[in-house]
Amino acid sequence: MPRAHTYRVASNPSAMEPRSLNVLFAGESQTRPQHQVGPKIVDYYLLHHVLSGRGRFRAGDTDAELRAGHTFLIHPRQLFSYESDREAPWRYRWVAFAGEPAAALLAEAGLGPDRAVADTRGDRSPGECCRAIYEALRERRRSASLEAAGQLHLLLAALQEASPESGPALPRPNSHEEELVRQVIVYLSTQYAEPVTIEAMAETLGYNRAYLSRLFKRHAGVTPMGFLARLRIDHGRRLLRERPELTVEQIASSAGFRDALYFSKQFRRAYGETPTDYRTSVLGT
């Protein structure tokens, strides 16, 4: 016996920002048997996650029968239609969204013009994210737009995990080492202002400290801590040029040095003059 038909929707009260990821509206429905939508087009992305039942989805080259755990995506200005099953009409949640980052984020999640359907293999998080988006919009909190966008990112992350392309590719010779060096560089380049230790970095990346240091030095020609020291000095040098209102002590702290005197010594060793002399020569003050 099919469940009674339900339809609930909530819209975003905030104005759309074209350069951001914007949730427009979200909802949930228990459909009637053979409930049909389209053929039609819309001007935004429309993502459905099936909670129960079955139905058929058609868009572009996709013509598929979908069931609980499937997610299907409709692209802007794409002709589509979908219909619920006669015996087991589907129940689904949906999210409509737009904005410049949307296409790239969907591609990362494994959804694009050539792949409009994802199977989350029993993972409940996509449905829960859809529900959380709907609840945030329904309650019309001041933070509703940010909450909805955050939950949409989590939803896309769950779909990426379910994507058959999301698993790690078999590395080519040396590609694993090169990728690990890249991870070290990213870590140090973003954490330089913090009290970084090689032990903490190794633990974060999941590798032995000694192995990580040897590998990095072999590829980069310098130890991770030597690379970090140069990052900090170069960042301090840039701040000396670009932020004349900051004191040398403030710049040292911003660059990750706890001691302004140590920063000055390292700066002079690298560039042959003190931070104050460098700033005077560049700014003429």
Residue 1 belongs to some domain of the structure: no
CATH number at residue 55: 2.60.120.280
- Find out whether 213 and 186 touch, Cβ atoms under 8 Å: no
pLDDT at residue 266 greater than cutoff 70: yes
Task: Indicate whether 229 and 103 sit together in one domain.
Answer: no
pLDDT at 3: 66
Number of domains in the chain: 2
Task: Indicate whether 133 and 216 sit together in one domain.
Answer: no
- Count other C-beta atoms under 10 Å from residue 43's C-beta: 10
Residue 264's domain comprises 170-285
Task: Indicate whether 91 and 194 sit together in one domain.
Answer: no
Least confident of 48-57, 133-142, 164-173: 164-173
pTM for this one? 0.63
Last residue of a domain, one of 128, 162, 196: 162
Residue in the block written with tokens 């990426």: 160
- For residue 285, what is the DSSP state? -
Q: Report which secondary-structure segment, H or E, holds 252.
A: helix 248-254
Last residue of a domain, one of 138, 162, 186: 162
Dist. CA 114–CA 251, nearest whole Å: 50
pLDDT at residue 174 greater than cutoff 60: no
More confident residue, 168 or 29: 29
| 7 strand-pairing partners | 29
Task: Indicate whether 181 and 233 sit together in one domain.
Answer: yes
CATH number at residue 255: 1.10.10.60
Task: Indicate whether 83 and 131 sit together in one domain.
Answer: yes
Residue 135 belongs to some domain of the structure: yes
pLDDT at residue 160 greater than cutoff 90: no
pLDDT at 2: 52
Residue 263 belongs to some domain of the structure: yes
pLDDT at 173: 40
Task: Indicate whether 111 and 133 sit together in one domain.
Answer: yes
pLDDT at 171: 41
pLDDT at 85: 94
Averaged pLDDT, 220-247? 90
pLDDT at residue 166 greater than cutoff 60: no
Last residue of a domain, one of 162, 183, 209: 162
pLDDT at residue 172 greater than cutoff 60: no
